[in-house]
Structure 1
Amino acid sequence: MGTTRKGADCFLLQLMLLLCAVWGSQQVAIKLAAADIAPLLQVALRSGIAALLVGALLLCQRGWRTWLPWTWRAGLLTGALFALEFFFIAHGLQYTSASHMAVFLYTAPIFSALGLHLLLPSERLRSLQWLGIALCFGGVAMAFGGGGNWAALDGRMLLGDVLGLCAGMAWGATTVVVRASRLSEAPPALTLFYQLALAFVLLLGYASLFVELPPVRWTPVAIASVLLQGVVVSFLSYLAWFWLLRRYLASNMAVYSFMTPLFGVSFGVLVLDEPLSLNFVIGALLVLAGISLVSGDTWLRRRLAPRRGGVEQFDG
């Protein structure tokens, strides 16, 4: 018998506010501790810590071993994409602000929607979603383009913004692989372990072999940043998200999750004193509006569908 999932209520709103605030703090924490520990090493260690915790959780659960023969190939691919996402984040934060990274990273739903549209007939995009994609890319162009004044662009920040967009693409591709493979039916903790474990190995291996990292200074800020990302963000918050997915409608949760970039931008301004240009603010709002239309399509249609004869009519 399937589990009946609830609609939005006060508890969901409160917990999603907390989760979005936690997720929005990631880029700010990396940037804040960058002088003490390199961003690339931070994201590698966070993945390793969280992989150990998720692995311990898997050992306490049953049934996940039966999924290994069917999921390991897709698991390796999602792990590589997850590592690529955080590779782009770590390098991008060396050039752009945490505020910019928070917005460009969360373009991921746009890329996952486009990928799923091409691969799965059940995921075909509707007209409202295509409008959202157009708004999102228009917002990216506005945020990149300096309001049309290309001569005034900061080349370093533009490079960081492009890397943030690449991180969003990698995240979107990860979602496509999960949804289009047997991982969509596997225990969520197993999928998360694939991602975290392989990201730790690949990122730490790359940092050790190809990058001359500055010495680490284990200051309170550096320790707090790594623990925040490894324990709170990558372990506790993801478990809370999966717990909510079993109890609430995913469309409602998707709408609330759009608060994350807003928290990221706010923390960047308040904690790091990052400046915000008018064109970036307008572009970010267009990006968020586009993402809302793409990922919140089901929720919006439920709210806006006309009632005929007392029965709600839905498109598809």
Structure 2
Amino acid sequence: MDSRKALDVTAVSLMLLLCVTWSMQQIALKATEPDFSPVLQIALRSGIGALLVALLMLWRRERLTVSDGIWIPGCLAGALFALEFLLVGEAVQHTSAGHVVVFVYTAPVFAALGLHWKLPNERLAPLQWLGIGLAFAGIAVAFLRGARTDTALAGMLWGDFLALLAGAAWGATTVLVRTTALSSLPATQTLLYQLLTGFVLLLPVALLAGYTRFNPTPLVWLSLGFQSIVVCFASFLIWFALLRRYLASRLGVLSFLTPLFAVALGVWLLSEPIEPGFIAGALLALGGIVLVSGHGWIAALLKR
């Protein structure tokens, strides 16, 4: 029997805090982009985050598991993590932060399709297929909002496409973790594999591709500290702690407030425009994603 409990005030409060924190990732990358190359920033935050996780494991006397070849899927998860954030780093240079977060959060759709194919007990229910249809319809509407062919729009659409590919990479990471021995590892170890491999792969890419822009302004240092300590270390540990105590489906549904916060914060902090076509597509896509991720909870509510 599942010992996890329904959401209470503490869980909802922490989830709202996490959603705001996660929505600020791309806001910070976009705001500091003129002074700090996004790919370089992501590489450095991954390295610092990996160091903090390693110190926590050392304090707990927890060793990184490498036996029985588990390091292979661990490194593959790290490579997918690196690919996801390489795409995010490229995307924020072409499109708005709000767009990036919305498209990255299509990841559960790709994860659900992959798990449907790989795991018999993860077969999609009719309600989830409806959600997938809505999600892809929303993605199509969001892209078709700009049938014009001017250069600025073409660049934004390219950034949106890169963010969508980042969502697919995130979904593939979820499938890999769920279908390999990584599923039995403590969360700290899986996180360390991802952050450490991400750092090892992304730093050379940043240096070789010339993404070395770094002007150490106060905002740049604040962004790097926020990304490393708050996002890569604290927020993920809080998230994993919540998953151990509360029902994952309900936490997952709440997590989709993140794109909504990101769009609102992008408008407020970065003066990003709101396009009616994109908003319509985003709401369709997010509604579909909620059906995919929260179908168990929604089905239980409908039965009542």
TM-score bucket of the superposed structures, by smaller chain: over 0.9
Q: What is the match of residue 108 of structure 2?
A: 109
CA 1:70–1:58 in 2, change beyond 3 Å: closer, same or farther?
A: farther
SS at match of 2:20: helix
In 1, Cα distance between equivalents of 2:65 and 2:211: 40
Structure 2 equivalent of residue 131 of structure 1: 130
Sequence identity (%): 51
Residue 78 of structure 1 and its aligned partner are, at CA, apart by: 0.2
> In structure 2, what is the Cα distance between the partners aligned to 1:135 and 1:257?
18
Q: Deviation at 1:59? A: 1.6
Aligned to 1:20: 19
> What is the letter of the counterpart of residue 74 of structure 1?
P
CA distance, structure 1, for counterparts of residue 202 and residue 282 of structure 2: 29
Deviates more, 1:294-303 or 1:159-168: 294-303
What's 2:177 paired with?
178
Answer whether contact 2:65 2:189 (CA < 8 A) is retained: no
Does the 8 A contact of 1:258 with 1:292 survive in 2?
A: yes
Counterpart for residue 268 of structure 1:
266
Q: CA deviation at 1:35?
A: 1.1
CA-CA distance at 1:301 after TM superposition? 1.4
In structure 1, what is the equivalent of residue 73 of structure 2?
74
Cα distance in 1 between the residues matched to 2:211 and 2:165: 23
Distance apart, 1:222 and its partner CA: 0.5
Residue aligning to 1:187: 186
Inter-partner Cα distance in structure 1 for 2:259 and 2:215: 29
For 1:136, the aligned partner's letter is: A
Quote the Cα distance in structure 2 between the aligned partners of 1:273 and 1:290. 28
CA contact (8 A) 2:87 2:165 kept: yes
Give the TM-score normalised by the residue count of structure 2: 0.96
Q: 2:222 aligns with which of 224, 237, 242?
A: 224
Equivalence map 1:182-261=2 (5 Å): 182-209=181-208, 211-261=209-259
Cα deviation, residue 10, structure 1: 1.1
Cα offset, 1:60, TM superposition: 2.4
Q: Which residue does the alignment assign to 2:31? A: 32
**Offset at 1:146?**
1.3
Could you list the per-position Cα deviations for residues 232-279 of structure 1 after superposition, in whole angstroms to 9, with x for gaps in the alignment? Answer: 001000000111111111111111111111111111110000001110
Q: Could you tell me how far 1:68 is from its partner in structure 2?
A: 3.9
Match of 2:99?
100
Task: Map Cα deviations across residues 8-53 of structure 1 (whole Å, 9 max, x no partner).
Answer: 1111111100000000000000000111111111100110110000
Confirm whether residue 301 of structure 1 aligns to residue 277 of structure 2.
no
**Residues 55-91 of structure 1, C-alpha deviations (whole Å, 9 max, x = no match):** 1112223454456434201101000000000000000
Q: Alpha carbons of 1:122 and 1:62: their partners in 2 closer, same or farther (altered >3 Å)?
A: farther
1:126-157 deviation line (CA, Å, top 9, x unaligned) = 0000000010000000000116x354681100
8 Å CA contact 1:81–1:173 kept in 2: the answer is yes
CA 1:62/1:301 → structure 2, altered by over 3 Å: closer, same or farther? farther
Tell me: CA distance 1:68–1:234, structure 2 relative to 1, closer, same or farther (3 Å): farther
> Counterparts of 2:114 and 2:61 in 1: how far apart (Å)?
32
Amino acid at match of 1:230: S
1:109–1:294 Cα contact (<8 Å) kept: yes
TM-score by length of 1: 0.92
Q: Which amino acid aligns with 1:108?
A: A
Counterpart code for 1:123: E
Partner SS state of residue 70, structure 2:
helix
Aligned to 1:311: none
Q: Which runs of 5+ in 1 are unaligned?
A: 307-316
- Displaced runs of 4 or more, over 3 A: 62-70, 149-153
Once residues 59 and 214 of structure 1 are traced to their aligned partners in structure 2, the CA distance between those partners, rounded to angstroms, is 32
Cα-Cα RMSD: 1.5
CA contact (8 A) 2:64 2:189 kept: no
1:181–1:280 distance in 2 versus 1, CA, 3 Å: same
**Displacement of 1:280 after TM fit?**
0.2
In the alignment, residue 194 of structure 1 is paired with which amino acid?
Y
Q: Determine if contact 1:50/1:235 at 8 Å carries over to the other structure.
A: yes
SS for the counterpart of 2:196 is: helix
Q: Which moved more, 1:289-298 or 1:66-75?
A: 66-75
- Equivalent residue, structure 2, for 1:314: none
Q: Which moved more, 1:58-67 or 1:35-44?
A: 58-67
Matched position secondary structure for 2:60: coil
- For the pair 1:83 / 2:120, whether they are aligned, the reply is no
Q: CA–CA distance in 2 between the matches of 1:225 and 1:68?
A: 37
Distance 1:196-1:151 versus aligned 2 partners, 3 A rule = same
Q: 1:68 to 1:23 in 2, by over 3 A?
A: farther
**Greater Cα radius of gyration, structure 1 or 2:** 1
